[in-house]
Chains A and B, each alone.
Chain A
Amino acid sequence: MAVCVAVIAKENYPLYIRSVPTENELKFHYMVHTSLDVVDEKISAMGKALVDQRELYLGLLYPTEDYKVYGYVTNSRVKFVMVVDSSNTALRDNEIRSMFRKLHSSYTDVMCNPFYNPGDRIQSRAFDSMVTSMMIQVC
């Protein structure tokens, strides 16, 4: 389960960022921020002409001692970054992919809402609940 989930806009500012252990959030924010460089690197490595071929799921961006950071980019250059606990070894790549898919689909639903202005922070309750379901239940 994810420890932190972030949605970054095309201009690289966060639309939504949420971590489970509410303390130490800054650390996660920093990790997400640094991972953006890796994301950009991966995107540009694919080449501009290969946007279609580029897979949305970027995979493991970089691992740290305690955490692993995964990335996902949509075709509109909106990035999803997910930080998972390294100790959670049971998480397979497929699961990560499915989590990103869910994120993407919820994000799309948020976009479909006419009252949402693209570029605003995401305040949708449905999106929140979906992310909550993906996060580790830290109790």
Chain B
Amino acid sequence: MEGLTLSDAEQKYYADLFSYCDVDSTKKVAANGRVLELFRAAQLPHEVVVQIKELCGAKRLGYFGRSQFYIALKLVAVAQSGFPLRVESINTVKDLPLPRFVASKNEQESRHTASYSSDSENQGSYSGVIPPPPGRGQVKKGSVGHDTVQPRTSADQQEPVSPVVSPQQSPPTSPHTWRKHNRHPSGGNSERPLAGPGPFWSPFSETQPVSSAGDAVWAGHSPPPPQENWVSFADTPPTSALLAMHPASVQDQTTVRTVASATTANEIRRQSSSYDDPWKITDEQRQYYVNQFKTIQPDLNGFIPGSAAKEFFTKSKLPILELSHIWELSDFDKDGALTLDEFCAAFHLVVARKNGYDLPEKLPESLMPKLIDLEDSADVGDQPGEVGYSGSPAEAPPSKSPSMPSLNQTWPELNQSSEWETFSERSSSSQTLTQFDSNIAPADPDTAIVHPVPIRMTPSKIHMQEMELKRAGSDHTNPTSPLLVKTSDLSEENKINSSVKFASGNTVDGYSSSDSFTSDPEQIGNNVTHQRSHSGTSPDNTAPPPPPPRPQPSHSRSSSLDMNRTFTVTTGQQQAGVVAHPPAVPPRPQPSQAPGPVVHRPVDADGLITHTSTSPQQIPEQPNFADFSQFEVFAASNVNEQQDDETEKHPEVSTVEKASDSASSLRVAKTDSKIEEKTAASAPTNVSKGTTPLAPPPKPVRRRLKSEDELRPEVDEHTQKTGVLAAVLASQPSIPRSVGKDKKAIQASIRRNKETNTVLARLNSELQQQLKDVLEERISLEVQLEQLRPFSHL
């Protein structure tokens, strides 16, 4: 490491670089900051940089001392020349060109080196180190592309020739060409800068700083001149002011460069913001951009459509091709519209272009639109791009610096990510999703078929009774009633129910009241009523089983109800839980009982109703639900008999019977409710059953009307049974307490529901058959009529 021999040029060059990096003049350069920038500018792969750092001993020391720094620079030169990095190579490799540090934005940085008079080798590392902007002025020699640039380049050319010549003299030539555009007096450029930004410029003119001139240009732009300049943008010579500014900076740059005084350079560097990014937008600039944005789009969070942006930027009188390129760079998410950040970036690029800066191939970091929508960018205000990307320069991630070729690859990724982010941010997909979801939920309660509004079936006794009464007329519609809304699967169940019910013509009756019920937040009665009226009403008494309002009112519902009950109850009240649980437990005994009660079809709806009435009291909370669970519970306990009743209620007694067989469990629940309704005796049981009866109650009511007679006898039986059941239930309550019962209850209810389903299916088929028969009869009658008619016609 030691023993580094440097040529004179190298010595000088390195010294300058060291001074540049040694911001604090401590003769020690920390590993971060300028050194990293420098290394980054060397365009070496990151690994090489790391290796260099290791080799030069900076890692060891933790910082770059002067010797380490020199060694590092030498290694950079070695690496750039393609030689392997080794300690020995420092001294062995002769005739190394000076390390090249190319600033990111300016490929023309190297040209600056040409202007570096002191350096025989045109490795303008020094200038390269300097932030690009200063270089730009120089570069213009090469960058043609713009008419605007050309005049400057001529000026630039002059400068290198006579570097020491007061820049003020050369530049005036170029600026003059600009002048015609300028609204500002064509005073010497030097004056301009001074007059302009003031403090920024003064140091420049005084010290003739090199590097920061470029920065100063931008910095200078911020204060007053920018306003004038910016404002003019919209008008004819918008860029005039800027241009005027630029030439000044150009002069300064050239001057400074030639001067190459480390001190001044340091000063300047200090004055300029930290490693700079010529593309950074200053506050004033940003404010100006924002104002301009507002003129087009008052909402700062909104977009500027492409056409408006096109008109706006066309005013800048840049060639369409360049504007097109600027657009490509700045429309980050490729949506054809500009957000505030994108607009600022585009505006900035236009300004830069107007000032003769070449457009980068990739969007510079500082101009990247902040993905703030999704991210919380640190610098929300000023530095759009830097949030996610600017990262500490210390990292020297090659991917970040635009100049690095690897950038091209990383940008797309970043772009994509940002695009995704911004897009997702901007898109109202989430909203649409939510809307969609919300749409799903609210079924039109009016539509019978539509799931009957998941209203908990905690049919109040009163409601149920009402329902029953209403439904008195139509047995067919019973299916709906029993169904009673089930909370969880209301929609589905409703649909199912409705479909089933409709078939049976539920809606015919005044069950429409159920509609109202469905809409009624009060669940208890509602469910019942709903089911009555709407076939579609959600019979969800129990969440899981969508016991469609099948004709087996109590059973199916009961099962579902049970579920709900069980769940809700368990969570809430003990009793409820008890009730809920009981279904789990009771089902076992119930099934056995169920068949029994099933037989008793004619169970009194009343009984059930009574049960239900009582049950609802107990399980008020679960409006739609499931009384099935309750039912099951009840069924197990008392309702078994009642189930029969409930089933009876259905016009299709036969089917009910069948249903009851399968859905006995369900029915049990229903019957439970019914039983409850019916039997006061089963009060105690009712309590437990209360949950279940919720659903059934409506049915029971109906049933009652219809088949009360039938039920009566059963009721008696049921009552007896209820007594037994009551006892059972009484015992049950204690059982279900355990949470584990819930599962059983659920499973039981599921079983019951399935049974109910099969029963209902059978019922359905039977009904279909009956329908066919009836139709046939009708046809035959019609035929007969027709036969008779002709005689009349005759």
A interface list, Cβ under 8 A from B = 108-109, 112-116, 123-126, 129
Interface membership of B336, Cβ < 8 A: yes
Q: Which of A108, A114, A126 contacts B310 (CB 8 A)?
A: A114
State whether A115 and B331 are in contact (beta carbons under 8 Å apart), knowing that A123-B324, A125-B325 are contacts in the complex.
no
Q: Which of A113, A116, A123, A125 contacts B361 (CB 8 A)?
A: A125
Pick the contact of A113: B305, B327, B408 (CB < 8 A): B327
Q: Quick check: B334 and A115 within 8 Å, CB to CB?
A: no
Chain A residues whose C-beta falls within 8 Å of the C-beta of B306 in the assembled complex: 112-114
Shortest distance in angstroms between A78's beta carbon and chain B's nearest beta carbon?
17
> Taking each of A113, A116, A124, A126, which has the highest tally of chain B beta carbons within 10 Å of its own beta carbon?
A113
| Closest residue of A by beta carbon distance from B328 | A126
Taken residue by residue from 308 to 345, chain B's Cβ proximity to chain A (1 for < 8 Å, 0 otherwise) reads as 01100100000011011101100100111000000000
B331 pairs with A124, CB closer than 8 A: no
* Cross-chain contact A109 with B334 (CB below 8 angstroms): yes
Q: Chain B contacts of A112 at CB under 8 A?
A: 306, 331, 334-336
Complex A-B: 15 CB contacts under 8 Å: A109-B328, A109-B334, A112-B334, A113-B306, A113-B324, A113-B327, A113-B331, A114-B309, A115-B310, A115-B313, A116-B324, A123-B324, A124-B328, A125-B325, A125-B328
Closest to A130 in B: B412
Output the least CB separation between A115 and chain B (Å). Answer: 4
Verify B321–A114 contact, CB threshold 8 A: no
Are B336 and A114 in contact, CB atoms less than 8 angstroms apart? Answer: yes
Contact with A along B334-362 (1 / 0, CB 8 A): 11100000000000000000000000010
B307 within 8 A of A: yes
Cα distance A126–B328 when bound, in Å? Answer: 7
Query: Which 6 A-B residue pairs are closest in the complex by CB-CB distance?
Result: A114-B306, A115-B324, A114-B310, A112-B336, A115-B323, A109-B334
Q: Which residues of chain A have C-beta atoms less than 8 A from B310's C-beta?
A: 114-115
Given the complex of chains A and B, what is the CA–CA distance between A61 and B361 in angstroms?
35
- If A112-B334, A114-B307 touch, whether A129 touches B408 (CB-CB below 8 Å) is yes
Residues of A within 8 A of B320 (CB): 115
Measured between alpha carbons, how far is A114 from B303 in the docked complex, in Å?
14
Complex Cα–Cα for A113 and B321 (A): 11
Chain A residues whose CB sits within 8 angstroms of the CB of B335 once the complex forms? 112
Q: Name 20 extra pairs, CB < 8 A, besides A113-B336, A115-B324, A124-B328.
A: A108-B334, A109-B334, A112-B306, A112-B335, A113-B324, A113-B328, A114-B306, A114-B307, A114-B309, A114-B327, A115-B310, A115-B313, A115-B320, A116-B324, A123-B321, A123-B324, A124-B324, A125-B325, A126-B328, A129-B408
Q: Which residues of B contact A125 (CB under 8 A)?
A: 325, 328, 361
- Looking across the interface, which residue of chain B has its beta carbon closest to that of A125? B325
> Complex Cα distance A37/B328, Å?
33
- Kindly list chain A residues whose C-beta atoms are within 8 Å of the C-beta of B334: 108-109, 112
| Cα of A125 to Cα of B323 in the assembled complex, Å | 12
Taking Cβ atoms with an 8 Å cutoff, the residues of B that contact A are 305-307, 309-310, 313, 320-321, 323-325, 327-328, 331, 334-336, 361, 408
Give the chain A neighbours of B336 by CB distance below 8 A. 112-114
Please give me the residue from chain A that is nearest to B335 by CB atom. A112
A113 partner residues in chain B, CB cutoff 8 A: 306, 324, 327-328, 331, 336
Smallest Cβ-Cβ distance to B408: which chain A residue: A129
Contacts of A108 in B (CB 8 A): 334
Whether B307 pairs with A124 at a CB distance below 8 angstroms is no
In the complex, residue of chain B having the shortest beta-carbon distance to the beta carbon of A117: B320
Q: How far is the CA of A108 from the CA of B328 in the complex (A)?
A: 12
Rounded to whole Å, the gap between the CB of B405 and the closest CB of chain A is 12
Query: Within the assembled complex, what's the spacing in Å between the Cα atoms of A114 and B309?
Result: 8
| Chain A residues closer than 8 Å to B307, beta-carbon distance | 114
Question: B327 to chain A: which residues have CB within 8 Å?
Answer: 113-115
How far apart sit A123 and B222, CA to CA, in the bound complex (Å)?
A: 34
- Closest Cβ–Cβ distance, residue B211 to chain A (whole Å): 29
Contacts of A109 in B (CB 8 A): 328, 334
Q: Are B325 and A124 neighbours in the complex by a CB distance under 8 Å?
A: yes
Q: In whole angstroms, how far apart are the Cα atoms of A95 and B327 in the complex?
A: 30
Closest to B310 in A: A114
Q: What chain B residues lie within 8 Å of A124 (beta carbons)?
A: 324-325, 328
A116: chain B residues at CB < 8 Å are 324
Docked complex Cα distance between A126 and B327 (Å): 11
Residues of A within 8 A of B321 (CB): 123
A120 CB, min distance to chain B CBs, angstroms: 9
For the complex, give the distance between the alpha carbons of A115 and B346 in Å. 13
- B313 CB contacts on chain A under 8 angstroms: 115
Cα distance A124–B310 in the bound complex, in angstroms:
16
A109 to B416, CA, bound (A): 13
Docked pose: A126 CA to B408 CA in angstroms:
10
- Give the chain B neighbours of A129 by CB distance below 8 A: 361, 408
Closest chain B residue, CB of each to CB of A109? B334
Q: Nearest-CB distance from B414 to chain A (Å)?
A: 14
CB distance from A126 to the nearest CB of B (A): 5
In the assembly, what is the distance between CA of A125 and CA of B145, in Å? Answer: 15
CB-based nearest B residue for A106? B334
Q: Which of A114, A124, A126 has the most CB of B within 10 A?
A: A114
- Point out the residues of chain A lying under 8 angstroms from B309, CB to CB: 114
Contacting residues, chain A, for B361 (C-beta < 8 A) = 125, 129
Q: Chain A residues near B305 (CB, 8 Å)?
A: 114
- For the complex formed, measure the closest distance between the CB of B427 and the CB atoms of chain A, giving whole angstroms: 15
Cα A59 to Cα B325 in complex, Å, equals 32
Residues of B within 8 Å of A123, CB to CB, are: 321, 324
A115: chain B residues within 8 A (beta carbon): 310, 313, 320, 323-324, 327
**Cα distance A125–B306 when bound, in Å?**
19
- The distance in angstroms between the C-alpha atoms of A34 and B512, with both chains bound, is 72
Residues of A with C-beta under 8 A to B331:
112-113
**Shortest Cβ gap from A52 to chain B (Å):** 23
Q: How far is the CB of A26 from chain B (nearest CB, A)?
A: 26
Report the bound CA distance from A112 to B324 in whole Å: 10
Shortest distance in angstroms between B75's beta carbon and chain A's nearest beta carbon?
30
Q: Which residue of B is nearest A113, CB measured?
A: B327
A114 cross-chain contacts in B, Cβ below 8 A: 305-307, 309-310, 327, 336
B195 to chain A, nearest CB (A): 36
Closest to B307 in A: A114
Chain A, Cβ-Cβ closest to B325: A125
A109 and B335 CA atoms in complex are apart in Å by 8
Query: Min CB distance, A107 to chain B, in Å?
Result: 12
Q: Nearest Cβ distance between residue A118 and chain B, in whole angstroms?
A: 13
Name which residue of chain B comes closest to A124, CB basis: B328
Most chain-B Cβ atoms within 10 A of its Cβ — which of A108, A109, A112, A123? A112
Complex contacts, B328 vs chain A, CB 8 Å: 109, 113, 124-126
In the bound complex, what is the Cα–Cα distance between A125 and B361 (angstroms)? 8
Cβ of B792 to closest chain A Cβ, rounded Å: 56
- C-alpha gap A116/B408 in the complex (Å): 23
Which residues from chain A contact B323 at a C-beta distance below 8 Å? Answer: 115
Question: In the complex the two chains form, what is the Cα distance from A112 to B338 in whole Å?
Answer: 11
A86 to B334: give the CA distance in the assembly, Å: 35
* B309, B320, B334 — most chain A CB neighbours (10 Å): B334
Cα-based distance from A114 to B43 in the complex (angstroms): 35
A126 to B361, CA, bound (A): 9
CA distance A123 to B325 in the complex (A): 9
Q: How far is the CA of A113 from the CA of B306 in the complex (A)?
A: 7
Alpha-carbon gap, A124 to B305, bound state (A):
20
Instruction: Provide the residues of chain A in CB contact with B325, threshold 8 Å.
Output: 124-125
Among A108, A123, A126, A129, which residue has the most Cβ atoms of chain B within 10 A? A126
A116, closest chain B residue (CB)? B324
Q: How far is the CB of A101 from chain B (nearest CB, A)?
A: 14
Give the docked Cα–Cα distance between A114 and B331 (Å). 10
| Docked pose: A129 CA to B411 CA in angstroms | 13
* CB neighbours of A126 from chain B (8 A): 328
Q: Min CB distance, A57 to chain B, in Å?
A: 22
Separation in Å of the A99 CB from the closest CB of chain B? 16
CA A109 to CA B336, docked complex, whole Å? 8
Cα distance A53–B228 when bound, in Å? Answer: 58
Of chain B, the residue at the smallest CB distance from A127 is: B328
* Complex CA–CA separation, A124 to B334 (angstroms): 13
